[in-house]
Amino acid sequence: MGRRGGPRRGVGFLVLGLALPALLCTAGCTGPDGSAPTPTPATGSTTAQPASDAGLCTRVVTYWARRTLADDTYGDYQSMGLSHGQYQILMDVVAAGRSERQRQGADAARRLMDRQARVACTARYRHGTPSGGPWT
């Protein structure tokens, strides 16, 4: 507790840091095949499946690609929670999305970015996690 009985300084940041991943997951979680989790008939809850490295990569790259396309980003790849390799995928996906947006519009750009992120992340993690360190 702080001096006056409230939470210590910095606790708000910690709470935000713990809540942001949960918020990202509820906003864009998909199954390994790209479909939304399905409710189970008996309980009405969703089936929990462990996320693959490729699936997590796809979700985070897709999230940041949409934000970047909308010019709603900040910081560098580490502040986004991306490895350097994931950031390279993001930059390629966004470049393609910007070109597609000029030709076909924003919806077509988002669909293209989703596909390209899924393909690139699947290729990146097809043999497991890259072994060049945590930020590769």
User: Using an 8 Å Cβ cutoff, are 37 and 46 in contact?
Assistant: yes
Q: Has residue 67 got a pLDDT over 80?
A: yes
Q: Has residue 66 got a pLDDT over 60?
A: yes
- Tell me the average pLDDT of the chain: 76
Residue 46's DSSP bridge partners are: 39
Mean pLDDT in residue range 34-40: 51
CA distance 109 to 111: 5
Q: CA dist 107 to 27, 104, 111, 132, Å?
A: 18, 8, 6, 36
Q: How confident is the model at residue 5 (pLDDT cuts 50, 70, 90)?
A: low
- Its pTM stands at 0.60
**Which pLDDT score is estimated for 105?**
95
Q: How confident is the model at residue 75 (pLDDT cuts 50, 70, 90)?
A: confident
Which of 116, 21, 63 lies closest to 124 in space, CA to CA? Answer: 116
DSSP code string of 64-81: HHHHHHTT---S-TTTTT
In sequence order, which ranges of 2-127 are alpha helices (DSSP H)? 11-28, 53-69, 84-104, 106-124
Tell me which of 75 and 91 has the higher pLDDT.
Answer: 91
